[in-house]
Chain A
């Protein structure tokens, strides 16, 4: 079975631009979470979506938004990019919203570089 897939794997954007990152969860997983991992730090929670509704939000500015589609895939959008948005963006999917660590699986991430 395919794991969590993220696209693209790498991209370079210019300050002020907008970017869309994509995540396809494991088949049957209905919850998708997004994390930002700045180089040398641990991942920080951005959003969680379950059944197409936002269920959690981290301490990130409104420039960050996300959505989940009927097939449970998800997009993370970042507007007005700043140099500090350069990071590895990780997506994680799980089967049940409220079951701790149940099948919680991370993708390999999208490496975003803002120049």
Chain B
């Protein structure tokens, strides 16, 4: 079946530090992969996505590359800001129902000034 595993948090970094949040997945075939961000008291916002192997999704300085050989989609950012503090979710969409998403458990990021 489909599942997503991401590193447990919280992750605490100082401003301008490098960020990596690991995400691996199990799926039949090659699903589309996503990173969502959730700020306190809010819903989910799409951060970036990749729809096929070797694709790189990027947005607001965040990047993630779809690696089929390692079934991974790690999130990276070169220099984090305090405003990046949030919970980050890795997700994949079902091959047979593209509106059915499987989410990881989330990684909370705390960025200190």
Contact = CB atoms under 8 A, between A and B. Distances in A.
A17 B93 CA distance: 33
Given A104-B46, A108-B43, A43 B97 contact: no
Nearest to A57: B100
Nearest to A91: B43
Contacts of A101: 32, 34, 46, 49, 51, 93, 98
Interface residues of A, number: 29
Contacts of A109: 43
Interface in B66-113: 89, 91, 93-94, 97-106
Nearest to A41: B105
Number of chain B interface residues as a range: 20 to 34
Contacts of B91: 42
A43 B100 contact: no
B98 A42 contact: no
Contact of A48 (B34, B41, B49, B100): B100
A107 B43 contact: yes
Contacts of A4: 43
Contacts, number: 68
Contacts of B59: none
Contacts of B32: 100-101
A42 B103 CA distance: 5
Nearest to A49: B99
The winner among B41, B44, B91, B104 for most chain A CB atoms within 10 A is: B44
Interface string A69-94: 00000000000000000000010101
A68 interface: no
Given A101-B93, A106-B43, A106-B45, A44 B103 contact: yes
Given A48-B97, A56-B94, 20 more contacts: A33-B99, A33-B100, A42-B91, A42-B103, A43-B44, A43-B103, A45-B101, A45-B102, A56-B99, A90-B43, A97-B99, A100-B32, A100-B98, A101-B51, A101-B98, A104-B99, A106-B36, A106-B45, A107-B43, A108-B43
The 5 closest A-B pairs by CB, nearest first: A42-B103, A106-B43, A108-B43, A106-B44, A100-B98
